[in-house]
Structure 1
Amino acid sequence: MAKFYTQLDDRLRQFIEEQKVFFTATAPNSGRINLSPKGINTFRCLDAKTVAYLDLTGSGNETAAHLYENERMTIMFCSFTEKPLILRLYGKGQVMSPKDVEWSQFYNLFDSLPGERQIIVLNIDSVQTSCGYGVPIFEFKEERQTLKEWAIKKGEQGIFDYWQQKNQTSIDGLPTRILENR
């Protein structure tokens, strides 16, 4: 049975820390819903009502575009171990960039990674757990190195060029503000 909470407790924070992957979901007022898997130890619980993750350069920048439009976001974790659980965090998301006053305060919580793009902060409105009985059991083998290697090979200027070419608008044409936030 699904249960709702107003914030994260110690048990749920521990569950989050044990997960190797999480999923982010956002949607514009009109257009495509975006659902993205994330990993590489980029997620942090800041307190019972606030979480954040270091966003790395990817093929699109839908999350930023959607958050600038309406702030709605869901983050989901699911257990792939013997003990099933699905955890969803609902709230208002914010895009943090290097030009923001709070950037260094948040950035210092993360390990430096190649291809860093922005930090996404979620202010939690509600938390939901559900059974996860239908989720298969998987064993974690290792983190993929492909994204890190790609970003290192591109270099700082190559990443900036990539943002210019691929990350300035969402699939539906919404601005991501990636270049104006530098």
Structure 2
Amino acid sequence: MGAVHEEIDDRLAGFLAAQPVFFVGTAPAGHDGHVNVSPKGLAGSFAVLGPREVAYLDLTGSGAETIAHLRENGRVCLMFCAFTGPPRIIRLHGTGVVVMPGDDDFDDLAGRFTTRPGVRSVIRVAVARIADSCGYAVPRMDLVAERTQLERWAARKGPDGLAAYRRTRNARSIDGLPALDPPSG
């Protein structure tokens, strides 16, 4: 039923790339913080960088929990579910880092993805464990279409509006951890 893989081979990379949505789970280090699970999607926003490394395009959103948690402790799990075809779930456990615009490798990484308005960062994950499970309880669903609201919203805001939004809405996590807080000092 389940298996652990040594690496992301071509077949597994194809499965991951074909999923229209995946989920990112993170948590703060303390026992009293909120666990966060974020759905991610949009074609061309996920990439396999190597046999044990992946990345995804992080777009401006209503919160910045993943960024805050990764900056605090790095722990992350990405989960991909097959909603069509044979049942399957893949979990990628690892350590994530936030690569911001202006960082040395940002342009290189961002170039691997479809260009989209509202890019906030690229999340790069060093994968420590690749686990496959059955997915027998995951329902079959048809993708009707990608949602376009986020991109339209980001385009309307423009670069200055997005920067202002991030300063006010993405500065800290719901638990008060720094996310996109400007560096002090």
- Provide the TM-score with structure 1 as the length reference: 0.96
1:95 aligned partner: 98
1:154 aligned partner: 157
Which amino acid is 2:35 matched to?
A: I
Aligned partners of 1:125 and 1:75: how far apart in 2? 12
2:4 aligned partner: 4
Aligned partners of 1:116 and 1:178: how far apart in 2? 17
Aligned partners of 1:26 and 1:108: how far apart in 2? 25
Higher alpha-carbon deviation: 96-105 or 132-141: 96-105
1:34 aligned partner: 36
Change in 2 beyond 3 A, CA 1:141/1:178: farther
Deviation at 1:153, TM superposition (A): 1.1
Unpaired stretches in structure 2, ≥5 consecutive residues: none
User: Once superposed, which parts of structure 1, at least 4 consecutive aligned residues long, lie more than 3 Å away?
Assistant: 177-180
3-state SS, counterpart of residue 80 of structure 1: coil
Deviation at 1:99, TM superposition (A): 2.1
Deviation at 1:104, TM superposition (A): 1.4
Which amino acid is 2:3 matched to?
A: K
Which amino acid is 2:178 matched to?
A: P
1:20 aligned partner: 20
- Provide the TM-score with structure 2 as the length reference: 0.94
Which amino acid is 2:16 matched to?
A: I
3-state SS, counterpart of residue 105 of structure 1: helix
- Aligned positions of 1:35-114 closer than 5 A: 35-41=37-43, 42-114=45-117
Tell me if the contact between 1:7 and 1:125 (Cα under 8 Å) persists in the aligned partners: no
Aligned partners of 1:162 and 1:178: how far apart in 2? 12
Tell me if the contact between 1:81 and 1:138 (Cα under 8 Å) persists in the aligned partners: yes
Tell me if the contact between 1:115 and 1:148 (Cα under 8 Å) persists in the aligned partners: yes
3-state SS, counterpart of residue 25 of structure 2: strand
Deviation at 1:86, TM superposition (A): 0.2
Name the count of aligned residue pairs. Answer: 180
